[in-house]
């Protein structure tokens, strides 16, 4: 197996585990430089005016949240679509592309940071079904938003209370996503 195929297979395995809520990001020192919000959004095929990764990032930028470079480097962890057999098993595996952005405090190890996960689905019905399916799981996001026609934005926080900086940052992103014109909050909490 060549290096490219091995890397692609590894990314797919990570996507499967992560999408199922089973991935625990390995702890890495928070020594990586934060990624400015403006530098982290553009260039994806799914970026358009009324939806997409870029619109979500622009909304979150208003919260003055700093994105952290994940352990793999770059601005986000890319999540390619899972294989067909996984997609057939659960609606939340039916996304076409996804990204994980970690956000502050960046000095914490990656396993202790907040995450914003953004997924693009083929149509609204599949996206809404995925959100409902994820809400029924034991491991689920702190909050989930339907964005535009086909996107979903999730917040995963290891500390959803407002007593510390981790919970406060998650709350700021929640507020920013809630103020988006083309977003609706879907409560997935207990």
String of DSSP letters for 138-149: SS--SEEEEETT
Question: Which pLDDT belongs to residue 8?
Answer: 47
Residue showing tokens 């996503």: 177
pLDDT digits (tens, 9 = 90+) for 54-102: 999 999 999 988 999 887 778 899 999 999 888 888 888 999 999 999 9
Do the Cβ atoms of 117 and 99 come closer than 8 Å?
Answer: yes
| Interacting residues of 24 by C-beta distance below 8 A, sequence separation 6+ | 111
Do the Cβ atoms of 166 and 112 come closer than 8 Å?
Answer: yes
pLDDT digits (tens, 9 = 90+) for 148-183: 999 999 999 998 889 899 999 999 999 999 999 889
Question: Which pLDDT belongs to residue 74?
Answer: 83
Question: Which pLDDT belongs to residue 2?
Answer: 54
Question: Which pLDDT belongs to residue 3?
Answer: 52
CA distance 151 to 98: 9
- Range with the poorest average pLDDT among 3-7, 23-27, 149-153, 173-177: 23-27
Q: Mean per-residue pLDDT for 134-144?
A: 88
* Structural domain spans, the chain: 3-186
Q: Taken in order 106, 40, 45, 7, is the CA torsion positive or negative?
A: negative
Residue of higher predicted confidence among 40 and 152: 152
Mean model confidence pLDDT for the chain: 76
Residue of higher predicted confidence among 37 and 98: 98
Q: Mean per-residue pLDDT for 119-140?
A: 91
Alpha-carbon distances of 19 from 44, 87, 106, 132, rounded to whole Å:
20, 10, 23, 14
Alpha-carbon distances of 172 from 42, 54, 65, rounded to whole Å:
22, 18, 8
Q: How confident is the model at residue 187 (pLDDT cuts 50, 70, 90)?
A: low
């Amino acid at each position: 197996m060549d290096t490219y195929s091995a890397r692609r297979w590894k990314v797919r395995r990570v996507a499967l585990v992560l999408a199922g809520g089973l991935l625990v990001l390995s702890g890495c020192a928070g020594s990586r430089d934060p990624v400015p919000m403006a530098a982290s959004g553009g260039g994806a095929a799914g970026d358009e005016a009324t939806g997409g990764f870029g619109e979500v990032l622009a909304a979150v930028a208003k919260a003055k949240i700093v994105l952290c470079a994940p352990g793999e480097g770059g601005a986000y962890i890319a999540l390619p679509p899972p294989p067909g057999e996984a997609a057939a098993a659960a609606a939340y595996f039916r996304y076409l592309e996804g990204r994980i952005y970690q956000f502050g405090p960046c000095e914490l190890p990656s396993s202790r940071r907040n995450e914003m996960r953004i997924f693009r689905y083929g149509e609204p019905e599949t996206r809404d079904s995925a959100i409902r399916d994820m809400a029924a799981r034991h491991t689920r996001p702190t909050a989930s938003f339907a964005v535009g026609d086909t996107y979903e934005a999730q917040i995963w926080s290891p500390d959803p209370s407002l007593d510390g900086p981790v919970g406060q940052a998650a709350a700021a992103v929640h507020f920013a996503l809630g103020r988006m014109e083309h977003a609706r909050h879907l409560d997935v909490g207990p």
